[in-house]
């Protein structure tokens, strides 16, 4: 099966009350761990590549890894640019075979965000590629863009209709309290997404797919393993999975997860070296790390996204 766009996936997810997982890929073991889980569970999949991942692994290597996953799994897979920060980067990914791009101009003023998003949409649609845009800003680090604590802003529902109709974007990432990385909420506070904002956005955009970034849950057991074996991750706290499940049952069709895969992989590697200090064959520590990613993705597909059996 060739790469697909997210259009059909999102239409089915919206009507079916589930969401598609968008997992970040950086190397072969990550691609394999994710796609093995999705393949066994017959879950449609979005593999996403950040600017940093592309710089790290090389566009061609990433494309070829994803092509291999298509052959091995025969799943509907969408290849997506995560947090494209310029028209040129989006164009390069579109020309280079991606089926979906995100233009993230959410840090720019409203009118500027509209202009750059519209320009990307015009180019992308001409080539059969879909576009995700963003309104509102999340705290945390998105590639080179760091939004300081307190500087994030929830999406303003009164802006979404004008934004979507003027840009022609295919999906919209909104800010309702999620954030990037492992430190999403202050320790001691009760994490709570703004479902009132999500509901109002959905009311204004009936049938339109909404995206949640920064949706790792940061399971304490993985933080504990990392800390037990020499790490130092104080006060890490993520989005409760029951809130993500609720969002998936509403208009949220795409849920972005990266940090949880990093945690699973790093915890596995730290544990491996603590137990096998003499190992120096990368296969010995990357094999369990890949299995840890697979287990994490399987859990997300079944317990959070609800997209198992939907491929």
Give the binding site for ligand G3H (CB under 6 A): 24, 50, 52-53, 82-83, 142-143, 180, 258
Give the span between the Cα atoms of 5 and 21, in whole angstroms.
Answer: 14
The residues binding ligand 13P (CB under 6 A) are: 24, 82-83, 180-181, 213-216, 256-260
Asked if 133 and 87 touch (Cβ cutoff 8 Å), the reply is: no
* Residue 215 interface partner, choices Zn ion, ligand G3H, ligand 13P, none, CB cut-off 5-8 Å depending on type: ligand 13P
Query: Shortest distance, CB of residue 83 to ligand G3H, whole angstroms?
Result: 6
Shortest distance, position 74 Cβ to ligand G3H, whole Å: 27
The CB-of-213 to Zn ion minimum distance in angstroms stands at 3
3-state helix, strand, coil in the chain (%, to 5): 50, 15, 35
CA atoms within 13 A on the CB side of 198: 23
Q: How far is the CB of 256 from ligand G3H (least distance, A)?
A: 7
CA-nearest of 283, 293, 182, 280 to 231 is 182
82 catalytic, yes or no? yes
Residues in contact with Zn ion by CB under 5 A are 213, 256
Determine the Cα–Cα distance for residues 148 and 136; give it in Å rounded to an integer: 14
219 interacts with, out of ligand G3H, ligand 13P, Zn ion, none, CB within 5 to 8 A per kind: none
* Minimum CB distance to ligand 13P smaller for 180 or for 310: 180
* Partner in contact with 143, chosen from ligand G3H, Zn ion, ligand 13P, none, beta carbon below 5 to 8 Å by kind: ligand G3H
CB nearer to ligand G3H: pick between 83 and 294: 83
In whole angstroms, give the CA distance from residue 100 to residue 116: 16
Of 74, 82, 95, 126, the catalytic one is 82
Residue 4 beta carbon to ligand G3H: minimum distance, rounded to whole angstroms:
22
Q: Which is nearer to ligand G3H, 6 or 202 (CB)?
A: 6
Identity of the residue, 221 or 281, whose beta carbon is nearer to ligand 13P in the bound complex = 221
Closest to ligand G3H by CB, 51 vs 310, is 51
How many whole angstroms separate alpha carbon 78 and alpha carbon 1?
11
Q: Cα dist. 300→45, 88, 217, 307 in Å?
A: 12, 33, 10, 9
The residue count of the chain comes to 311
The contacts of residue 273 (CB under 8 Å, 6+ apart) are 229, 279, 285
User: Which of the choices ligand 13P, ligand G3H, Zn ion, none does residue 216 contact, using the CB cut-off of 5 to 8 A by kind?
Assistant: ligand 13P
* Beta strands 252-257 and 20-24, pairing class: parallel
- Enter the tokens of residue 298: 């399987």
Task: Please choose which of ligand 13P, ligand G3H, Zn ion, none residue 53 contacts, taking the beta carbon within 5 to 8 angstroms, the exact cut-off set by kind.
Answer: ligand G3H
- How does DSSP classify residue 178? -
Q: Is the C-alpha dihedral spanning 268, 299, 255, 137 positive or negative? A: negative
Catalytic residues: 82
């Amino acid at each position: 099966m060739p790469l697909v766009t997210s259009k059909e996936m999102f239409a089915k997810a919206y009507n079916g009350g589930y969401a598609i997982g968008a997992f970040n890929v950086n190397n072969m073991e990550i691609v394999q761990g994710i796609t093995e889980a999705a393949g066994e569970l017959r879950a449609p999949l979005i593999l996403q590549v950040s600017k940093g991942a592309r710089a790290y692994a090389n566009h061609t290597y990433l494309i070829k890894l994803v092509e291999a996953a298509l052959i091995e799994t025969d799943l509907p897979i969408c290849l997506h640019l995560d947090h494209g920060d310029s028209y040129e980067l989006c164009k390069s990914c579109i020309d280079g075979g991606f089926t979906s791009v995100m233009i993230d101009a959410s840090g720019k003023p409203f009118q500027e965000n509209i202009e750059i998003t519209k320009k990307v949409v015009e180019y992308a649609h001409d080539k059969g590629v879909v576009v995700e845009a963003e309104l509102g800003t999340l705290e945390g680090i998105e590639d080179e863009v760091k939004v300081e604590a307190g500087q994030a802003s929830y999406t303003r529902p009164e802006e979404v209709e004008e934004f979507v109709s003027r840009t022609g974007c295919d999906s919209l990432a909104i800010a309702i309290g999620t954030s990037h990385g492992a430190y999403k909420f202050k320790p001691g506070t009760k994490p709570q997404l703004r479902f009132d904002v999500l509901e109002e956005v959905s009311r204004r955009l009936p049938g339109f797919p909404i995206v949640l970034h920064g949706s790792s849950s940061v399971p304490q057991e993985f933080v504990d393993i990392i800390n037990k074996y020499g790490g130092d991750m104080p006060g890490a706290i993520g989005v409760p999975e029951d809130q993500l499940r609720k969002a998936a049952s509403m208009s949220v069709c795409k849920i972005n997860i990266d940090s949880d895969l990093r945690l699973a992989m790093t915890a596995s590697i730290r544990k491996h070296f603590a137990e096998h200090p003499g190992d120096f064959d990368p296969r010995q520590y990357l094999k369990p790390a890949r299995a840890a990613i697979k287990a994490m993705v399987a859990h997300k597909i079944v317990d959070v996204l609800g997209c198992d059996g939907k491929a």
